[in-house]
Amino acid sequence: MSADQTILAARESSALTEGTIDLQALLRESDVQSVLDQLDRELIGLAPVKRRLREIAAFLLVSRARKQFGLEVSPPSLHMCFSGNPGTGKTTVATRMADILHRLGYVRKGHLVSVTRDDLVGQYIGHTAPKTKEILKRAMGGVLFIDEAYYLYRPENERDYGQEAIEILLQAMENHRDDFVVILAGYKDRMETFFRANAGMASRIAHHIEFPDYSEDELMQIAQLMLAQMNYRLDASGEQAMREYIERRVRRPNFANARSIRNALDRARLRQANRLFALPQAVDQVALSTLSAADLHASRVFQELDAVSHGETT
């Protein structure tokens, strides 16, 4: 080890003792554990995603340790693809990802720039490149999150400017690898089509993370977590109704996992407000924060099923 490196390593941290590095100390120093714990607490389910995040965190810590010994030559490529059905937490995880990468010192600022096709692709010739480059500049030092990335590629229109945006993006992903991290997100099957058509993109993305659908139990936990965050709670009958609601909602079309649950809860809150207004007496704090079965049973999900059971066709 050269004199320079020794000084550097000594200044870097107290974790280094006579040619060994205490990874646990490095982990404590980076404060990344608290983000991972928060992730465990606030995100229900998503076991494969959390496992992958831990792997990436460990990998970055190890590569930082290797750097102290001068073993690491180039920074690892961390561009990612999040695929999963709607409402499975892709955006939420991306925000956390920016935080994790920042604490591990992989990105300098740790902000998230969230864009869709409209922000990258222009409307006329010569409009796309400046637009995409501006977004790239804004994302530098942080994470660029491209939601529904498959819209960038429109095979039915060969003069579509999306291809131009993809090319600029590819170039930046290669040349500015240590300046920013790109996360593409979208539904699984359409992302696969996208990658088949853009081999360059597929080969530059090292981490493909799949977001599984939530089970009914997990959805119930999510509902309770959301309500707790909004300072509401379900009474015994409400809890039962929520379970029934989830059971039926899952089987209906356009089911969007956690997002559907959030919408259902928002509607239930509206109905609860209406119900409280109709009450003759004054309401107390408990009444104001309790959702009961009546608020949920008024949902369309139940009504339509009832309609079917009564033999009505409309």
Partner 1 sequence: MRLTQGAFSFLPDLTDEEIRLQVDYGLERGWAWAIEYTDDPHPRNTYWEMWGTPMFDLRDGAGVLHALNECRKACGRGYIRLCAFDSTRGVESIRMAFIVNRPDEEPGFGLDRQEGEGRNMRYRLHGYAADRSPEERYRADP
Phi, psi for 188 (deg, rounded to 5): -60, -55
Q: Toward partner 1, which CB reaches closer, 66 or 109?
A: 109
Q: Toward partner 1, which CB reaches closer, 96 or 249?
A: 96
Q: What does 211-279 look like in DSSP terms, one character per residue?
A: EPPPPHHHHHHHHHHHHHHTT-EE-HHHHHHHHHHHHHHHHSTT--HHHHHHHHHHHHHHHHHHHHHH-
Please list the residues that pair with 208 across neighbouring strands.
81
Helix axes 3-12, 47-68, angle to 10 degrees: 140
CB of 178 to partner 1, least distance (A): 9
Measured from the Cβ of residue 314, the count of other Cβ atoms closer than 10 Å reads 3
What does the alpha-carbon distance between residue 143 and residue 36 come to, in Å, rounded to a whole number? 18
CB of 133 to partner 1, least distance (A): 8
CB of 177 to partner 1, least distance (A): 11
CB distance 190 to 150 below 8 Å: yes
CB of 263 to partner 1, least distance (A): 31
Q: Toward partner 1, which CB reaches closer, 112 or 246?
A: 112
Q: Toward partner 1, which CB reaches closer, 138 or 243?
A: 138
Phi, psi for 88 (deg, rounded to 5): -95, 5
CB distance 220 to 181 below 8 Å: no
CB of 72 to partner 1, least distance (A): 20
Q: Toward partner 1, which CB reaches closer, 70 or 130?
A: 130
What does the alpha-carbon distance between residue 157 and residue 153 come to, in Å, rounded to a whole number? 9
CB of 217 to partner 1, least distance (A): 40
Q: Toward partner 1, which CB reaches closer, 129 or 197?
A: 129
CB of 168 to partner 1, least distance (A): 12
Q: Which parts of this chain interact with partner 1 (CB under 8 A)?
A: 108-109, 111, 130, 133-134, 136-138, 140-142, 176, 179-180
Q: What's the one-letter identity of residue 69?
A: F
Q: Toward partner 1, which CB reaches closer, 90 or 102?
A: 102
Instruction: Indicate the DSSP class of residue 149.
Output: G
Q: Toward partner 1, which CB reaches closer, 79 or 297?
A: 79
What does the alpha-carbon distance between residue 223 and residue 237 come to, in Å, rounded to a whole number? 15
CB of 171 to partner 1, least distance (A): 11
Contacting residues for 198 by C-beta, under 8 A, at least 6 apart: 153, 166
CB of 314 to partner 1, least distance (A): 51
Instruction: Indicate the DSSP class of residue 20.
Output: E
Q: Toward partner 1, which CB reaches closer, 143 or 220?
A: 143
Residue 69 Cα distances to 4, 18, 105, 228, angstroms: 11, 11, 17, 47
